[in-house]
Homo-oligomer: A and B are copies of this chain.
Amino acid sequence: MNKKLSLAVILVLFFVEISAGQNKMVVYQTDYGLKDGAVAEMKGVAMEVSPDLKLFDITHEIPAYNIWEAAYRLEQTVRYWPKGTVFVSVVDPGVGTSRKSVVLKTKSGHFIVSPDNGTLTLIAQSLGIEQIREIDEKVNRRKDSQKSYTFHGRDVYSYTAARLASGVITFEQVGPLLPVQQVVSIRYQKAELSGKIIKGNIPVLDVQYGNVWTNIPDTLFNQLKPKFGDAVNVTIFYKGKMVYQGSMPYSQTFGEVAEGKPLAYINSLLQLSFAINQGDFAKQYQVASGNDWSLEVRLQ
């Protein structure tokens, strides 16, 4: 018995070793909302695969069919999770069409299970692609789900994610490699310095507070040599048409301007952002977000 026990311990340690790429954590985001049972069905399938998994959520309130926002939420969140975490993103207006179902492994060691429909645009650029594999649905599809055409989120994505996160399959067993350069990408204005003007995009709003976040990193903004208190000139465009033009102080905290006044600041992702102290910048100036929104920034 004791010899057997020792052997068992060694086997357990060995198993832990070989499955070290994954960490038993699965993190979900969808546009399903939380009013019905869809997310719970996905999680039930995962717990059926392995009761040892730990399941988490980014959000299920991605606006319906909004691939851009799905891309941005991944970009915002993935880096804060441990290596080996498996993310499932299901915003999938093309379900049932020829879009591919894939698992992307980032250079940082995170896994993303998603339709390849643009959702991977930003994470591929920022964290880099180690490998991308197409899900082989002959193997990685829940049993008895072949008759169902419309719930890939449960039957393929959550199922595959759970198998990968729990070590039932290796990353290689997801399916065949795809060429990295073929990942579907959405076009948008990248952050760039042009003379004394920085161009960029509004990837997303800080919705709860109505703050406007840009894709302009502090390191790029710092090339303008701003000092706290300097006036920042901001012009915002939708599909090339001007929506807002104004000036506001570059601030270290919201409290540096009066209530109701705008400010420019560096947000928690270290990107240039705009807010109204205790107000809602986006609502007040009718600013939204997505690949159609661009902006220009310069010091006054």
Shortest Cβ distance from A23 into B: residue: B51
- Which B residues lie within 8 Å of A80 (CB)? 40-41, 44-45, 48, 154
Our pick among B96, B207, B218 for the contact of A254 (Cβ within 8 Å) is B96
- Are A149 and B48 in contact, with the CB atoms below 8 A? no
What CA separation (Å) do A147 and B219 show in the bound complex?
11
A83 to chain B, nearest CB (A): 9
The verdict on A37 contacting chain B, using a C-beta distance below 8 Å, is: yes
Shortest Cβ distance from A53 into B: residue: B54
The verdict on A182 contacting chain B, using a C-beta distance below 8 Å, is: no
- Are A61 and B34 in contact, with the CB atoms below 8 A? yes
- Which B residues lie within 8 Å of A285 (CB)? none
- Are A36 and B2 in contact, with the CB atoms below 8 A? no
What CA separation (Å) do A208 and B64 show in the bound complex?
7
Our pick among B54, B76, B147 for the contact of A36 (Cβ within 8 Å) is B76
- Which B residues lie within 8 Å of A1 (CB)? 6
**Which of A131-139, A190-198, A229-237, A266-274 is the interface stretch?**
A266-274
A43 to chain B, nearest CB (A): 6
Shortest Cβ distance from A267 into B: residue: B150
- Are A154 and B40 in contact, with the CB atoms below 8 A? no
The verdict on A188 contacting chain B, using a C-beta distance below 8 Å, is: no
A219 to chain B, nearest CB (A): 10
Q: How many copies, total? A: 3
The verdict on A18 contacting chain B, using a C-beta distance below 8 Å, is: no
Question: What 0/1 readout, one digit per residue, does chain A (1-21) give for beta carbons within 8 Å of chain B?
Answer: 110011001000000000000
- Which B residues lie within 8 Å of A268 (CB)? 38, 41, 148, 150-151, 154-155
Question: What 0/1 readout, one digit per residue, does chain A (56-98) give for beta carbons within 8 Å of chain B?
Answer: 1111110011000000010011001110010000000111110
What CA separation (Å) do A207 and B34 show in the bound complex?
10
- Which B residues lie within 8 Å of A85 (CB)? 44, 47
- Are A149 and B206 in contact, with the CB atoms below 8 A? no
List residues of A (23-47) whose CB comes within 8 Å of B's CBs: 23-25, 27, 31-38, 40-41, 43-45, 47
What 4 A-B pairs have minimum CB-CB distances, sorted nearest first? A151-B268, A96-B253, A44-B80, A37-B77
Q: List 26 A-B contacts (CB under 8 A).
A: A1-B6, A23-B51, A27-B40, A27-B44, A34-B59, A34-B60, A35-B207, A36-B206, A37-B77, A40-B80, A41-B268, A43-B56, A44-B77, A47-B81, A47-B82, A48-B82, A95-B253, A96-B252, A96-B255, A97-B253, A147-B218, A148-B267, A148-B268, A148-B270, A149-B252, A150-B266
